[in-house]
Structure 1
């Protein structure tokens, strides 16, 4: 009888822990954007049940965890970290920003790594001069 009660308690505890624990997941998934050259681009990313660290990657190159991104003065990671918001802002977009971006959330405790991709397409502005022929 005592062994049955102990087994029931163990099963109950496992069920409580399993239902109380939720993996981190994207509440807002980054979406691909098309912007005009020189415009501002904002790639959104929001994570629920956040446990790991968040960073953005550009074409597979990790940009780091800081809001100020070394080597990328036009890039800023901003948002409300308490609510898991980690958006990437790119000001004065240029053709070199045309790339595949990824919001990455690292592992922590029992949470798995999660990643979400979005592409940024920068549309080039061509200026065509008009010539006056005499």
Structure 2
């Protein structure tokens, strides 16, 4: 460990200044400064889902220190399990395990976006972010077709 340097200034009653400088060697107690940074254990992957599918964007963090939230195309979805204004979205979280998965039920075209799992700074930890693109395609199997039939060009 590098030595700590201490400089002190003293004001005398007569208005004069004097200083005392010293160099002391000290050890920082174990755990006083956390050198282990928060990091992703699992990052979300790009997903292509059919309309109506349930989608889970995974996000797991090791050594979690900051607060976790998801964004959709840059819009912050918040920190709670329930996501206001997005009734089909929920955050499946287990804080002790560092699990913060975003769940979307009954996926629709409006859900297609760039999502980002964000972990804020805290306790000497830098913020971290990981993103994934969700693409939503037509229903599978499409109405009027059986599973395994060739999809025609009329389907979007």
TM score, norm. by length of structure 2: 0.70
After TM superposition, which residue ranges in structure 1, 4 or more long, deviate above 3 angstroms?
A: 16-20, 125-129
Q: Could you say if the C-alpha distance between residues 84 and 62 of structure 1 is closer, same or farther in structure 2, counting changes exceeding 3 Å?
A: same
Higher relative contact order (CA 8 A, sep 6+): 1
1:82 equivalent in alignment to 2:96: yes
Q: Match of 1:70?
A: 84
Gaps of 5+ in 2: 4-23, 146-156
| Structure 2 residue matching 1:89: 3-state secondary structure | strand
- Partners of 1:76 and 1:50 lie apart in 2 by 20
Q: Could you say if the C-alpha distance between residues 34 and 79 of structure 1 is closer, same or farther in structure 2, counting changes exceeding 3 Å?
A: same
* Offset at residue 108 of structure 1 (A): 0.7
| Structure 2 residue matching 1:82: 3-state secondary structure | helix
- Partners of 1:100 and 1:128 lie apart in 2 by 31
- Partners of 1:61 and 1:34 lie apart in 2 by 21
RMSD: 2.4
Moved more, 76-85 or 48-57: 76-85
Give the structure with the larger helix fraction.
Answer: 1
Q: Match of 2:114?
A: 100
TM score, norm. by length of structure 1: 0.81
Give the structure with the larger strand fraction.
Answer: 2
Q: Match of 2:63?
A: 49
Gaps of 5+ in 1: 130-134
Q: Match of 1:13?
A: 28
Q: Match of 1:132?
A: none
